Structure 1
Amino acid sequence: MDVDRSGVVVVGAGIAGVACAVELTRAGVPVQVRERGHVSGGRMASKRFDGRPADTGAAYFTVSDPDFAAVVDDWRAAGLVREWTDTFWAYDTSGRHDVPGPLRYAAPRGLRSLVEHLAGLVPVTVDRLVLTVEPGPTVDGQPYEAVALAMPGPQAALLLDPALADATRVVQAQTWSPTLSAVLRFGSRHWPTFHGAFVNDHPVLSLVCDDGDRRGDDAPVLVAHTVPEFAAGHLAQPSGAGPAIEQAVRDLLGLPEPAAHVHVHRWTYATPTGGRTDHTHHLDADGIGLAGDAFGKPRVQSAWRSGRDLGRALAARLG
């Protein structure tokens, strides 16, 4: 008996999942996106404090791929991105020095606004938890032509039936490191002018960004990211790490006053550290696709390209 299979379901509404869904939509393939969180964006996350957004996930993005540059041009035309800086500070045992690098882009409304803009033409359902992906493929008992999992491998592994051996092998080979991101809001700006600072060989900090400079409104807000080792000891209760992160930032920048408010966000799977392949995505004979920045350098651009390429591969197979 024939089974009615309805298009493709994409699980995860970060930039990889949304980019995948955009390609399928353009190709005329029915697609739906399911996101377990309250909003889309994934690790391009931002949270509002008194109406002002602060980025709690990715700190910025860079551009080297011409196709991704075209996407960024669309964001720029919509007033959603701004050129930020090509120079960060770096702290190490020899002191502080400037480090030139690629041009970094920021989003005045938060990086999540970019994913939401990209998702404008695709159906995204939030607060939709997926429990199982089984042979067929089926998602929670419903058959589909294909399934795309756009999430860190350890999360995908929890969904996959072991009978889906190829996809299971790929996600189990991935390793990830955690981080905590802390939004520190102050009463006024009491630090020297800077954009962002890489912090090397520090027991707590890995990166500190001036969010007022990044967003262009000069708000007295800093966002700090921790090293994996520190984060690993606070994943069960991330808010308890707030005082230590705040003190580390104050010591680093010589701040005379404490923050008025500290918010800590936990990222258990923040950065892929292993299991990448020479391919930008995975698509197997079972109809299971995998996408994300684990298939390249841990960059926003890599995640977008992975999702885009998976979407094109699925469209070619199903077209």
Structure 2
Amino acid sequence: MVAERARVVVVGAGIAGVACAAELVRAGVPVQIRERARVAGGRMASKRFDGRPADIGAAYFTVSDPDFAEVVRGWAAAGLAREWTDTFVAYSAQGRREVPGPMRWAAPRGLRSLIEHLAAGLPVTVDRLVLGVEPGPTVDGEPCAAVALAMPGPQAALLLDPALAAATAAVQAQRWSPSLTGVLRFPGRRWPDFRGAFVNDHPLLTVVCDDGDRRGDGAPVLVAHTTPEFAAGHLAQPTGAAPAIEQAVRDLFGLPEPAEHVHVHRWTYAKPTVGGDGTYHLDADGIGLAGDAFGVTSRVQTAWRSGRALGRALATTLRA
């Protein structure tokens, strides 16, 4: 058993942070997860509207890694995840066409339920804002053996003391783009049959999902994701973007009725456009970085693999 003084602080309870902490616990390394939000989940976020969840972060996830597939089988066995669709439609100036692809998975209770399942039994403290990481390393003045920052690089940069040069350089190398997510609740289902749609060369929309189909309950709910350019102009007041998002969705599908309610969520750091080298970062200062910025493509599986790899590397280092 690793001594208590070898405690690792994981900052961020998204899938990368939870995967990292789970590996440390398996290795017998004491760990704490600190999450600034009121719930775990990160960008696998879900929000309830009249008791019904809607995903406001990631739209779905895909599976190609055998180890991640085993995790997904556990979610499926627990009734938390299901195969959704391997076909989206694509809208463009040339019209509408079907686009086959990998199987996309969805979560009937919301993607956040998957993080909660992974985090079961782990020491997660929510609503805990971390203010600074300094040499030692220390987190908010408390010494620890190592720190894992599982969050977008620009957010990690705000926590790092400049003296932690290697980690600071690693997060400053990342570049991220914003997005807005609009949840549109309609009085009835009036749109053409589809599951998810890629919207190409559109000034506002990138992806729209039929959330009733994705969730499996048939609710008349659409979830729309915007372009980075549109989002950048509405980060200060995202609610002000609701009318434009609603109109764009209604125009796309030819919907005669307005939505009964539109909720807009802001993601200042939605997607990495320039990521990190390798699968994770771990330096001699005891600072680790993990997340979907470390990988060829930005996806849920990438973040899980990054967090797991960092957790294993930290466990090996602390046992040496």
TM-score, normalised on structure 2?
0.98
Tell me the equivalent position of 1:184. Answer: 184
User: Using the alignment, how far apart are the partners of 2:275 and 2:90 within structure 1?
Assistant: 29
Q: What letter is aligned with 1:244?
A: A
Tell me, in whole angstroms, the C-alpha distance in 2 between the residues paired with 1:193 and 1:110. 22
- Superposition deviation, residue 6 in structure 1: 4.9
Contact 1:174 1:276 in 2 (8 A): yes
**Alpha-carbon distance, 1:193 to partner:** 1.2
Q: Does 1:8 align with 2:8?
A: yes
For residues 149 and 276 of structure 1, what CA distance do their matches in structure 2 show? Answer: 13
**Counterparts of 1:295 and 1:29 in 2: how far apart (Å)?**
24
The answer to whether the 8 Å contact 2:6/2:318 transfers is no
Secondary structure, in 3 states, of the residue corresponding to 1:294?
coil
| TM-score normalised according to structure 1 size | 0.98
The residue aligned with 2:287 is 288
Matched to 1:247, the amino acid is Q
Q: Contact between 2:186 and 2:221, CA under 8 Å: does it hold in 1? A: yes
CA-atom RMSD in angstroms: 0.7
1:113-156 Cα distance to aligned partner (Å, 9 max, x none): 00000000211000000001000000000000000000000000
CA contact (8 A) 1:170 1:275 kept: no
Counterpart secondary structure, 2:128: coil
Per-residue displacement from partner, 1:30-61 (whole Å, max 9, x unpaired)? Answer: 00100000100000000000000000000000
Aligned residue number for residue 137 of structure 1:
137
Would you say 1:119 and 2:119 are equivalent positions? yes
What's the counterpart of residue 151 of structure 2?
151
Structure 2: segments with no counterpart, 5+ residues: none
Partner of 2:173: 173
Q: Report how many aligned residue pairs link the two structures.
A: 315
4+ runs deviating over 6 angstroms: none
Q: 2 CA distance for matches of 1:95 and 1:192? A: 14
Question: Which runs of 5 or more structure 1 residues have no equivalent in the other structure?
Answer: none
User: Residues 54-97 of structure 1, C-alpha deviation per residue, up to 9 Å, x if partnerless?
Assistant: 00000000000000000001101111001000000001111110
SS of match in other structure, 1:121: coil
* Partner SS state of residue 240, structure 2: helix
Q: Give 3-state SS (helix, strand or coil) of 1:184's partner.
A: strand
- Residue 61 of structure 1: SS of its match in structure 2? coil
Tell me, yes or no, if the aligned pair for 2:182 and 2:263 is still in contact at 8 Å: yes
Report what 1:85 is aligned to: 85
What is the percentage of aligned positions where both structures have the same residue? 79
Q: Which residue of 2 is the match for residue 236 of structure 1?
A: 236
1:315 aligns to 2:315 (yes or no) = yes
1:95 alignment counterpart: 95
